[in-house]
Amino acid sequence: MSEKKSILNVTVWNEYRHERNEQACHDVYPDGIHGCIKSFLDPDPTLNVRLAALDDPEQGLPDEVLNSTDVLLWWGHMAHHEVSDALVEKIRDRVYRGKMGLIVLHSGHHSKVFKAVVGTNGNLSWGRDQNEIVWNLLPGHPITAGIPDHFELFEELYCEPFYVPQPDELVFGSWFEDGFIFRSGLCYYRGAGKVFYFQPGHEYDRSFYNPYVRRIIQNAVKWAAPNEIVYPIENGCPCIQYKLNDKFGQ
């Protein structure tokens, strides 16, 4: 029997290589992209926010951290291949058993974690940084609370076709200055868990300072939080060894 928790444990995982190795990126995110994200989640007293990075011990997610994480945010780009397959499997299992929500940001579309959890090669087309208009496609959705019908960013071009399964909920769609479009906010239910993919967050742009991007991520953390599941879910196919109709005296 799980109890409804009042505090959500949120872990912001970042590859954290660009910000340490490239001055232009360090200038935008001196505390790392994960540090920036933590800074706008921290004021919420219902969140306990921790940071994790690829070069931390056990790639930032030893069992005691992963197994106490309610919502995992994931930003990666240049080192997807370095992430341990065993860790990816643990993350997928935790999401599928409804223990943890997953939020994948920007170039995380090609991460092992996104590909394994959603079931996709994660491929898309991309191009130069340019003006983007993000359109709110589902104004009644919890993730779009407080977001206007559209807002503008300066971002790396990501465009269709995006070779992902049809999302369960398509929340945002984007137009780019060069005429391309992209499904930029996607919700998936996987197993008993929830996944949100959100396109903004190129390492040289400033999207994680945008108030609407911040609100969307704040909303997504609450949406992705584990549901109150009141029965055990294991990783397997349990054999049924009882008859429900016994209760009818047959």
Contact 60, 52 (CB under 8 A): yes
- Which of 38, 99, 115, 202 is close enough to bind Zn ion by CB under 5 A? 202
Q: Does 184 bind Zn ion (CB under 5 A)?
A: no
Pick the closer one to Zn ion by CB: 107 or 111: 107
141 to 160: interface string for Zn ion, x by CB under 5 A? ---------------x----
Phi then psi dihedrals of residue 244, to 5 deg: -65, -35
Pick the closer one to Zn ion by CB: 18 or 92: 18
Query: Cα–Cα distance between 30 and 108 in angstroms, integer?
Result: 20
Q: Does 112 bind Zn ion (CB under 5 A)?
A: no
Residue whose C-beta lies closest to Zn ion? 202
Nearest distance, CB of residue 229 and Zn ion, angstroms: 35
Nearest distance, CB of residue 129 and Zn ion, angstroms: 9
Pick the closer one to Zn ion by CB: 77 or 92: 77
Strands of the sheet with 47-53, listed across from one edge = 47-53, 8-14, 71-75, 101-105, 193-198, 181-190, 169-176, 125-136, 150-159
| Count, residues near Zn ion per rule CB under 5 A | 3
- Binding residues (CB under 5 A) for Zn ion: these are 107, 156, 202
